A and B are shown apart, each in its own frame.
Chain A
Amino acid sequence: MDGIHDLGGMQGFGPVEDQGADEPPFHHPWEGRVHGMMISLGANRALPGSFRYAIERMGAVQYLTTSYYEHWMAAIETLLDEQGVVSREALARRIEQGRAEPEQRLDPELAQRAKTALTAPSKRVWRGPDHRFTVGQKVRAKKDATTHSGHTRCPRYVRDVVGVIERLCPLEPLPEGLPTRDIQPVPLYTVCFHSHDLWGEGAEDFTLRIDLVEPYLEEV
């Protein structure tokens, strides 16, 4: 979907504000709790579907006016509500009734699985079709790479622009299938674009590499 999350190249957001090298990983304790819930739910396979797509379906105004961990919380709430595990109404009721203080519950085995998920390398390799394009070949990111309102990882700013295949990468599942757990491994490429092709001759001079799956690309 051409959502507000697809920010590449937009203008009018003002300066970037760096808080410095001492910035903590979490700015409020609740942010850490949200990160912990996301990893723990994942370790319990309780967040099926696409976490990113759940964020992308936030309203545009809400997306821009809330923080990163509020995006995560919205995604957790959406996925749990859609599965019928925890309804939005149940959460709202809890807050209204003043029952928002978590009890302590210990599960050392789950804690260990969360830690393993964070630290263990994955050996998963996706098998599927061979790469159709070769290094050095000119390709165009399809203008209609996204005509649907679903999940995609082809940002607006590269569509209908010609670039060059720079690297063949291991296969990845087609992002479009992830929300419905339809896993279709497809070839992935690093594609190199020039700034003048992306933004016109008056743009700054630089090159850009982006990783795009084969269905987003066409021969030139």
Chain B
Amino acid sequence: MSTTAEHDHAHEDGTTHVGARTKAPAELRALALEAELIERGLVSTDAIDTVVEFFQNEVGPRNGARLVARAWVEPEFRGRLLADASAAARELDISGMEGDHMIAVENTDTVHNLVVCTLCSCYPWPVLGVPPVWYKSAPYRARAVREPRGLLAEFGLDVPADVEVRVWDSSAELRYLVVPRRPAGTDQLSEDELAALVTRNGMIGVAPV
């Protein structure tokens, strides 16, 4: 038994001191789970590190932004993206788990798209990374399919009454990516500069770009 165990003691609020640090029950459970699975050879430190590193540094909304910017500057690519987003993403070496059946939905003068997963928190990892906390939260999942206009207004996005709000509840294995409208006055910008304008929230549908 490790010597630190002698210093551990449970508190009434559920936290436990291990050595000098206080660990929340969730953190302790995760550590215990990893320790157990390591001992049984079912996971490895480097495999877990690889996954963490991947989501922290290699994948995220920049990938989706590259697709959107390419679609803005290349009409033929836009066509391919709207026809089969996963195939178009592979052209830019973007693919992987939660992205095998991606569908790009385009905002226009008459349609504004909004993506949600009411039953869990499905999200197109290869183009957006892992979802933000708000996307996974109960209020978003509850309200997006009942009062999307009110929700969008809280995000600072007032969608005019003559623009159709189109909500996508990704309840099966299809994953949705919103292609925002290209902002006015960006004709002189390069593809990279355009990509820098595109936000995660824009590609979920709660921001204009």
Contact = CB atoms under 8 A, between A and B. Distances in A.
A94 B36 contact: yes
Nearest to B86: A121
Given A25-B130, A170-B101, A40 B96 contact: no
Interface of B: 1-2, 4-6, 8, 16, 18, 26-52, 54-56, 59-60, 86, 90, 95-97, 99-101, 116, 118-121, 125-126, 129-130, 132-134, 136-151, 154-155, 161, 164-174, 199-201, 206
Contacts of B48: 32-33, 36-37, 40
B31 A17 contact: no
A108 B49 CA distance: 11
16 contacts: A13-B138, A15-B154, A28-B27, A32-B48, A32-B51, A35-B51, A36-B50, A37-B30, A73-B30, A97-B5, A100-B31, A105-B41, A107-B46, A153-B172, A204-B146, A209-B168
Contacts of B206: 18
B43 A40 contact: yes
Contact of A18 (B37, B132, B149): B132
Contact of B36 (A18, A33, A90): A90
Contacts of A213: 172
A103 B172 contact: no
B76 to A, nearest CB: 21
A86 B37 contact: yes
B137 A16 contact: yes
A26 B28 contact: no
A104 B167 CA distance: 45
Interface in A196-220: 198-199, 203-213
B202 to A, nearest CB: 10
A208 B169 contact: yes
Max chain A C-beta neighbours (<10 A), residue from B48, B120, B144, B174: B48
Lowest 4 CB-CB distances: which A-B pairs, in order? A98-B5, A36-B48, A8-B118, A107-B44
A178 to B, nearest CB: 11
A66 B164 CA distance: 35
Contact of A203 (B45, B121, B134, B146): B146
Given A36-B47, A41-B42, A111-B44, A122 B133 contact: no
A35 B55 contact: yes
A162 interface: no
